[in-house]
Structure 1
């Protein structure tokens, strides 16, 4: 009998050990799967960022060329220097310096002009207008090279690149090599990328107009969405009666948070532009559309933060004689503020990266200027990225990646601010 019991006990122990072993094995596999999932996510993120950085880092430097120009008094009107064809003048002099002056008005002149940016003629005209005494002298100007020449100096194209994949001719490449051998080419940080607006010429294009447009839109969005969203959340969570109407409102708010952003763009087009006749492509309309899109997220985040405040805070305030309004605005809301701020910043960061609503309200148009008010036409970083990526010039593609890096930097800063604010003000219960 004892032997039978011992055998049964041993069998049970073997089963328990076997069950524990299988359970530990499942837990180990689960941890392994989790590590693999994190590894795959990090790998894809590194691949994405690496591809963007690899494509866009060349946009942060550019090349200038030093061009000596004889400012011929016979061709320049001191009263109106802008009327002089300085591009042709430079091309003729460059060809003459190479013994090709006989083709000063032919195809070689066009090829020579193609080495320099159009900024050349504006720079010469500006200098002559500021100092007419330069006329009759030989002055050296430092001007940007054309976009294709810039790609050549960045080793993006070469003499071995098939002719159908480059706009530079072999003759132009030979001239560029000669300029570089003479020490007339200089690489420098491309400050124009951050100090200029959009342009049809890649070497002159910058993100400043889009950055200012995005900032103005976020200002309008924050001014409208934050007070309305927080007020709506406070009312629904603290004051609204629990009935079918409030339940219906809550369900619809949750549904609105999942509505595709392009639907908000259609709403903004119909409501703010076609019906209210607000200026198209303006930060005002863009901010209104993004505010509508951000409102549900802000309301949901604020309600979650209010729910996280312990009921004892409310009970203690009411027990001390505070009214319900005083309890909410003097005790509950300040304690929920870290979560409210975090949700608001994350919602604004999400709105910053939206593209579809902006395209529908006209921000896909080419706008070279820089807006100074919320009613002027402007671009935004997402729409600028869309425009540049669809441009035919290859130089715009590197600037597309650079603009993506600028946009990602804005979003990382905003998300980091949300995390820091939450950690600084958060209180654990």
Structure 2
């Protein structure tokens, strides 16, 4: 009997060399995959940095204010005590500023018109309010403080340059000289622009703020939360824990998933047809806005809640049923509390998504000019995304920096909501 022929050394090395080449290719493919993943992250972060940097660079100047303090003599010859509203207080402020600049008006009032273009109407309204509240001020000198005009503020912020051709800017060289002189005399001082956070919209950029939009957004989100969260959670509990698996429930589940992908403007059309035209709910109110956004948020809340319920181990249900708990007690006393972190996270994220929606709100009339915060849920209101849309389409250059500042406020609003979702999830999360 002869022994089997042993393979040659070359034949023995061949499989190992082929395996080594395949292993080398796999390692190279893995290194390429890691490189592509890191490159994708770097590109995404770069785009995010460019976006946020552009917004911050354009909007941070909004939070710097330049206020003018002017002592104004309330001439009795120009104010009727019986009807103080008939006086021209803006002209009084202008005359006081001209006196500080050593200017005399000409026959046609050209000089006073140029000076008035540097002063906000807010100072005149302050004088009117003071005289109306205390008529004894007539004949005295009152100091009022208010913002300079938006174009003058842009000059102080360095966004209007003196070396630019005079025809390409709204302010003449003479007006820029006056602004420099007012600042040299101490009549104009700079500080933080709290008015942007405490005032509502205005036709004058220097007087416009986001407070009305913030209040409108908060009221609208309250309506959205009160409707979408309870209804969405209960619907998800029924579909996941109680509903029999039939064609009808399968059809409902498919439609819920499809509704989550419907364009938001469709919900605006639905709200316009149902809530405004049929139910006659006031247009541009937090109530109708909250109803529309609740419809849009419901599919997301249902899907997130069902996912959270599925994540609860079956042993929890079996243990509760084993000690005699009913089906309802098992779900509401054990399963739902354990799924609450996922439920709250999904709900808050859906509300944050609703906060940034603009298209459905434009369809229900929230694009209108609203100069004051809403007094009730049926009052006219605006919201932060719509306020951004309105200001961006304004012709005044100063509104554009306020657009970026309003975006920053909106981002802070959304970041707070996302942080709340993270904190709630960590607070109630349980590891199995």
Superposition TM-score tier, normalisation by shorter sequence: over 0.9
- Displacement, 1:50? 0.6
Q: Deviations over 1:222-265 (max 9, x none)?
A: 11101110010001001111011100000000000000000000
Structure 2 residues without counterparts, runs of 5 or longer: none
Check 1:102–1:425 CA distance in 2 against 1; reply closer, same or farther (3 A cut). closer
Match of 1:274 in 2: 277
Of 242, 247, 256, 2:245 maps to 242
Contact 2:64 2:192 in 1 (8 A): yes
**d(CA) in 2 for partners of 1:217 and 1:96?**
49
Match of 1:314 in 2: 317
Counterpart secondary structure, 2:92? helix
- Displacement, 1:77? 2.2
Deviates more, 1:83-92 or 1:278-287: 83-92
Deviates more, 1:419-428 or 1:397-406: 419-428
Check 1:250–1:111 CA distance in 2 against 1; reply closer, same or farther (3 A cut). same
Match of 1:37 in 2: 40
**d(CA) in 2 for partners of 1:214 and 1:95?**
43
- Displacement, 1:45? 0.5
- Displacement, 1:70? 2.1
Contact 1:91 1:104 in 2 (8 A): no
Q: Deviations over 1:35-71 (max 9, x none)?
A: 0000001111111111100000001111011223222
- Displacement, 1:100? 3.9
The answer on 1:395 being equivalent to 2:402 is: no
Pairing 1:330-341 to 2, within 5 Å after superposition = 330-341=333-344
Deviates more, 1:117-126 or 1:385-394: 117-126
The answer on 1:357 being equivalent to 2:360 is: yes
Match of 1:262 in 2: 265
- Displacement, 1:95? 3.4
Deviates more, 1:7-16 or 1:109-118: 7-16
**d(CA) in 1 for partners of 2:126 and 2:234?**
54
Counterpart secondary structure, 2:182? helix
- Displacement, 1:99? 4.9
**d(CA) in 1 for partners of 2:32 and 2:107?**
76
Pairing 1:200-215 to 2, within 5 Å after superposition = 200-215=203-218
Counterpart secondary structure, 1:103? coil
**d(CA) in 1 for partners of 2:105 and 2:263?**
63
- Displacement, 1:323? 1.1
**d(CA) in 1 for partners of 2:165 and 2:304?**
55
Pairing 1:375-414 to 2, within 5 Å after superposition = 375-414=378-417
Contact 2:304 2:346 in 1 (8 A): yes
Contact 1:92 1:104 in 2 (8 A): no
- Displacement, 1:74? 1.3
C-alpha RMSD of the superposition: 1.6
**TM-score, normalised relative to structure 1:** 0.96
Contact 2:93 2:123 in 1 (8 A): no
Counterpart secondary structure, 1:277? coil
Counterpart secondary structure, 1:226? helix
**d(CA) in 2 for partners of 1:391 and 1:297?**
34
Check 1:416–1:99 CA distance in 2 against 1; reply closer, same or farther (3 A cut). closer
Q: Deviations over 1:113-169 (max 9, x none)?
A: 111001111111223334444333333322210111111111111222344542212
- Displacement, 1:16? 1.3
- Displacement, 1:105? 4.7
Check 1:165–1:257 CA distance in 2 against 1; reply closer, same or farther (3 A cut). farther
Match of 1:78 in 2: 81
Counterpart secondary structure, 1:378? coil
The answer on 1:127 being equivalent to 2:130 is: yes
Of 91, 96, 113, 1:110 maps to 113
Match of 2:304 in 1: 301
Counterpart secondary structure, 2:70? strand
Check 1:66–1:105 CA distance in 2 against 1; reply closer, same or farther (3 A cut). farther
**d(CA) in 1 for partners of 2:398 and 2:237?**
50
**d(CA) in 1 for partners of 2:186 and 2:313?**
72
**d(CA) in 1 for partners of 2:44 and 2:276?**
41
Match of 1:91 in 2: 94
Contact 2:105 2:112 in 1 (8 A): no
